[in-house]
Copies of this chain bind each other. A is one copy, B any other.
Amino acid sequence: MKVIKYRDAKAVKEVPGVTKRDVITADDGAPNFCMRVFEIEPASSSPSHSHPFEHEVFVISGRGLVLGEAGATQIEEGSVIFVAPNEHHCFVNNGNQTLRFVCLIPIVK
């Protein structure tokens, strides 16, 4: 068992205004999927992109938009987002506090 506080994990700046922490990875023995925690500052967003794997996201705090191929949806604490494989998407902080969410992806074997 591994137990940590996510804030103690190494923070990496992905793009300006977006920080990522890898909190559960294959190095921990995770056999199937890994957990990352993202923090997006106000007026910032993750890049719009797509990839052949899915995202499973839970919003911890803050407010924002998730943009998918069908348009934009408001998200906030308690929002759950499933991004299907190959779907274009990005996350935008349109609030005035940090947007924080957990995002899980499969481990490529």
Q: Is the interface of A mostly helix, strand, loop or mixed?
A: strand
CB of B106 within 8 A of CB of A6, answer no
User: Could you tell me the distance between the alpha carbons of A7 and B37 in the complex, rounded to whole angstroms?
Assistant: 21
Which of B5, B66, B82, B106 is in CB contact (< 8 Å) with A79? B5
**Interface: A11 (CB within 8 A):** no
A2 on the interface (CB 8 Å rule)? yes
Size bracket of the A interface: 35 or more
Name the interface residues of A56-86: CB closer than 8 Å to any CB of B.
56, 58, 60, 66, 68-70, 73, 75, 78-85
Complex-state Cα separation, A54 to B29, whole angstroms: 9
- In Å, the complex CA distance between A1 and B89 comes to 9
